[in-house]
Chain A
Amino acid sequence: MSPGKWVTFLCLMLGIAFLAAAAGLIKPISQQRRVYDFEPTNPFHEEKLIAEAGVGRLPLEVLTVFRFLAINYLWIRAEDLKNEGQYFDALHLSRLICELQPNLAAVWDFQAWNMAYNISVGVPTPPERWNWVRAGIELLRDKGIVLNPKSAKLYHSLSWTFRHKVGGIADDHHRFYKWYLAMDMVPLVGEFPDNTEIEALAQAPTDWQQVLADADVAAFVEKLRQSGGFSDDEDLFAALITSKLDPGKYADPFIELLEENVQAPAYRKLDLFVRSRELRFKWKLDPTEMVKINAKYGPIDFSVEGGIKHLCLEWRHPATHALYWALQGLKIEEMDEFNESTLRRQVHHSLQDLFHYGHIQVIHFATPSRATERAPGQEIMDQPPPPELGNVFFSEDLRLFPVAYQATLDIIRDREAAGESVRGFRDGSINLGRSGVRELFLAGYKDTAEIYLNDLRERYPERLLFQVATIDEFAANELRDDARDLTSKNARGYINGLLRAGYRAVALGNDGLAKSRNEWARQIYDILLLNDPEQGRLNLPPLEDMRWYALLRFFDDPSITWVLKNVMLQKLEREQPVIFEELRKEMEQREQASSGQTPGN
């Protein structure tokens, strides 16, 4: 054998030896990967999940050590691009980075945060911003969590993004995010979601062939395909959903066929399948899980006596999505204490948000193509033009107080059981309980308010404010506290503000809140009169007059949109024709006065 061949042989042997030695390290490396949670899923199961998620995984093994060089380079470039304002490119690189490091939850978390929080504020218009916020949400929900199902951090981040970025008010365009989310959810859960509908969605078949097995449905689908010219089932599904909001986008025969069959069982069956599928595949919301969450955390129906009945949660609300994802995160087994605690807080805060802003009212639901702005100078009594964009309003939902309060108690109980400090949680629970009891009392749910006052009294004997004989006494004390700081300068403004808030709640259809604000104003008024021994020092006009002035101020207030004012007018015309007529006259007089005319002319 020549020396060259000897060298070749030696190299080959060395190579085999190194390979064998490396193979021996596979077991400890795998063990380490499991310890650090790099391999959270069974590869076979993961394949299925990936296929479901539609994730096209890169052949990472092929890249060998260059993968890490590529990751480094991509991180630097993505950051540079972001700094230079080249967001389109940055988005794709971020996705690529995540796919190169699919099992590192922190990477998904960082990139999603970057998209939803940092990059989104760099783009100027609401639709562009929403694209970034949604991209962040989708990155976590559709890919990050699928590939890292044991990462509580990702569930928390997703829940936080829904609650804080979309549901909060920190972003300039937060109203648009809420509107976009509501617009996306309305075709799926309906304009007024209820338990029956969500249960029907949960029971809808999940297999398309099973749906088509029904001859009536199959025939209807065939007609739809022909009328709309759909060769692909996905296009048909999309059309069935988007046509609810934007029928003008589709051929007339298709829309007419849908309208003709609106009561047909075949359409109903098809519709439920398509909506349920959209919820499961696109939104990753399992209708069965939604039913369970409604049953546990849904708002309380106060009209039911002698038991608790949970109504349907407002699935158009970002806090409900936050609640859903926090609860999904809590299902992870073997979670560390910190993650569990943060997820529980998310549940608690989501429910609190739903209590404070959970009542949602969408007025004149409009797609962008139909929306216009009211021309400048037009007055509210004029014939209204087509509705403007984004008329989504949020207000307090009293029915969620019991649920939110119970969530605080659950956290306290769990923390106490674990021997952890509950001080902050107790304060939070007390404040929530205090405001809830007062709101319930003012809204007329005196018995319910009393139940919660009793509970607070027993739990917190050291808090003197709860140690009162009756709910009336508690409410009187609360209102006296409010009235104590009122002077002749601000008393009128305070009452006026409450009354106007009441009118706003009327316009939003939130009767409980309207009643609460009205009652609050009345009681404060009474207290002020009682505390005014000289009967006139505060110079308060009669309450009825104050109501009338507050109504006028409601229509003068530039911060209240014309849409709400218009809804209020329609309600008045329908329910209070006398007041409506007086208001109309007043408005006409004002307009004539402002144009230099007198009524006699």
Chain B
Amino acid sequence: MLLDALRDGDEAAFASLVSRHHTRLLRFAESLVPSRAVAEEVVQDTWLGVVRGIDRFEGRSSVKTWLFRILINRARTAGARELRHASLGDEDGLDGRFDAAGRWEDGLLPWADAVDARVVADKLAGRVKECLPHLPDAQRQVLTLRDIEGVDAADVCALLGVSAGNQRVLLHRARTRIRSILEEEMGGG
């Protein structure tokens, strides 16, 4: 098993872990700290933390969640803001779309079904990736962990130190914003 090999100091196991996770850690680190350079330092520090902490890892969380936890701790040491104090971000940005009674003013361009085709899904994935740096930090962090990395809600709350309710508000706003960007990409909006 990979973890046993890591505990034994197996270099190939470490290389495998790095190959799989380094760039995703870097991507997430960029949502925590102000610059790419600091993000790279924080991720390097994370790997040192992994080497030092491997004996203590009990395997109760997934390896990925464990890596994110170490990363977040390192980022905080490097000065990342506590997420629990972060602003929730803008309102959902759908203001102009509803009439006074709260009904849709216009219909929506139907594009959801088109995403069943892989080429469309991949094109939209590219757009999502481009949009990430433009989200407010807290929204970016939640969307990245939940929807890009597939970390479950309870783990995301624990990792980021936010309540379940706040986590959902952040996720809602992030998804709302990304959806409207994808809508433009698909020719609507």
Partners in one complex: no
**Interface of A with B (CB < 8 Å)?**
none
**Interface of B with A (CB < 8 Å)?**
none
